[in-house]
Amino acid sequence: MKAWIAALVVPLLTGVLAFGSAARADCALGPAGATQTRTMGQTLGQTGRTVQIHTPRGFDPQRPAPLVFLLHGSGGTGAEILASSRLAETADRHGFIVIAPDGGIPVERGFVWNVPGVPTIAGKIPGPNDADDVAFMTETIDALADQGCVDRSRVYATGLSGGGRMTSWLGCAAADRFAAIAPVVGLRAGRPDRRDPQRPDPATCRPSRPMPVMAFAGDADTTNPIQGGGAPYWSYTMHAAEQRWAQLNGCAAPRPTVWVTAQVYEEGYAACRDGADVVGRITAGGGHSWVADNDAMWAFFAARTRPQN
């Protein structure tokens, strides 16, 4: 385990870990049903990264719980997305831990995520000296799992806009660590192909295993429109992203389009390898905001675990 993660877990977990020890202490995340702010040191770029950690009501420190990473939009913070998404309330109902970190790259009043090859809202492509957000999250998983807080087979990610794109990238780059992903107004399947921007470049998303995907969007979103267009990284449509994930997951058939409420319809692909279905939930008239149904998201997550080697 890298040196910085040892510095992370002491203030994060308010306890001392015995790495490599046969004995495992109870998880020391803090009071059940509470949200805490922690500052975590790390050496892969910016230091002093802040995270919000919500421990659900009824949390048993002797039983590893599912974990959901909640990623803010570009220029935002973990505290803002935790409040606006209301995912902590969902966690209390269903018993999972939520971690909402700040992104690794400071910009304007908040932070952005390091999606390789994709410019941030400041117009800069992240470089080798910028924080490695994938490493940050995967090593955070290891720290919490080593403490006995988190079930490694039940780790998930969701995020809004730029956080949705980062969530998509986790599906591409860290499929061996996440059981499912749920981008919100941010589903991608790699960068647009330079020769044909209307489709994803297959070389830029190569997950190591099928990745279950549930994506949420609004059909009136003008920032990341489901019809494609907008910023260069958003050239292809949401449907093209769904189709590419279906190819990656070996899905056998399209799902019939079904209206699940008077304003929300569901589409996607089914009969996929290892249960890695691809589901799109689209809100008619929905804009660039948290249009996710949190309980539906959790139902999708809860039905899936990551195979253990």
Paired with 156 in beta bridges are 68, 180
Ordered by start, the domain boundaries in the chain are 3-302
Residue 12 confidence (pLDDT): 46
Q: Write out pLDDT tens, residues 167-194.
A: 999 999 999 999 999 999 999 999 999 9
The more confidently predicted of residues 86 and 25 is 86
Residue 309 pLDDT grade (very low, low, confident, very high; cuts 50, 70, 90): low
Question: What class has domain 3-302?
Answer: alpha beta
Residue 46 confidence (pLDDT): 41
Q: E strands within the chain?
A: 34-40, 49-55, 65-71, 97-101, 105-107, 110-112, 150-160, 180-184, 213-218, 253-259, 264-270, 278-283
Q: Write out pLDDT tens, residues 41-94.
A: 543 334 467 899 999 999 999 999 999 999 999 999 999 999 999 999 999 999
Residue 258 confidence (pLDDT): 97
Residue the block writes with tokens 């599906």: 171
The model carries a pTM of 0.91
Residue 256 confidence (pLDDT): 94
Give CA angle at 223 (222, 226), nearest 5°. 65
pLDDT exceeds 80 at position 23: no
Nearest to 192 by CA among 247, 229, 158: 229
Q: Write out pLDDT tens, residues 107-137.
A: 988 999 999 999 998 888 999 989 999 999 9
Residue 270 CB-density burial (10 A; 0-12 exposed, 13-18 middle, 19+ buried): middle
Residue 254 confidence (pLDDT): 96
DSSP letter at 192 equals B
Q: Percent of the chain scored above 90 by pLDDT?
A: 78
Question: Which token pair is 36?
Answer: 């805490």
